[in-house]
Amino acid sequence: MDRFDREAFDLILMDVQMPVMGGYEATGRIRQREDLKGTHIPIVAMTAHAMKGDREKCLRAGMDDYVPKPLQPLDLFQKIEQWAQCPDRAAADAGLTVP
């Protein structure tokens, strides 16, 4: 969160299970800060949770997309390219709206 407050990013790859603050909580805090600034940075969940409904849970938490672990390099690179280069287009392709 400290780095998010100090630096600009094109994309955040968010691990859902982190030791100090979980990815869902971190995403919620980022989205709250963005609401104040009027900005939006794409957040892609990276998680070993690959059960039915896990992707939807990540999206409900405010993440824009989801990549299950173990990571498949091609899938990860496609998500990075999709969201970092053109987040509005990526959101439209995913059926989402970017504020």
**How many CA atoms are closer than 13 Å to the CA of 83, on its beta-carbon side?**
24
pLDDT tops 70 at residue 8: yes
pLDDT of 11-64, one tens digit each?
A: 999 998 888 888 999 999 999 999 998 889 999 999 886 677 888 899 999 999
Whole-model pTM: value is: 0.80
In angstroms, rounded to a whole number, what is the distance separating the alpha carbons of residues 49 and 68?
Answer: 7
Going from N- to C-terminal start, the domains of the chain cover 2-87
Asked if CATH classification 3.40.50.2300 holds for the domain at 2-87, the reply, yes or no, is: yes
Over residues 79-99, the mean pLDDT reads 64
In angstroms, rounded to a whole number, what is the distance separating the alpha carbons of residues 55 and 6?
Answer: 29
Here the tokens at position 57 are 């849970």
Better-scored residue on pLDDT, 95 or 76: 76
pLDDT tops 90 at residue 86: no
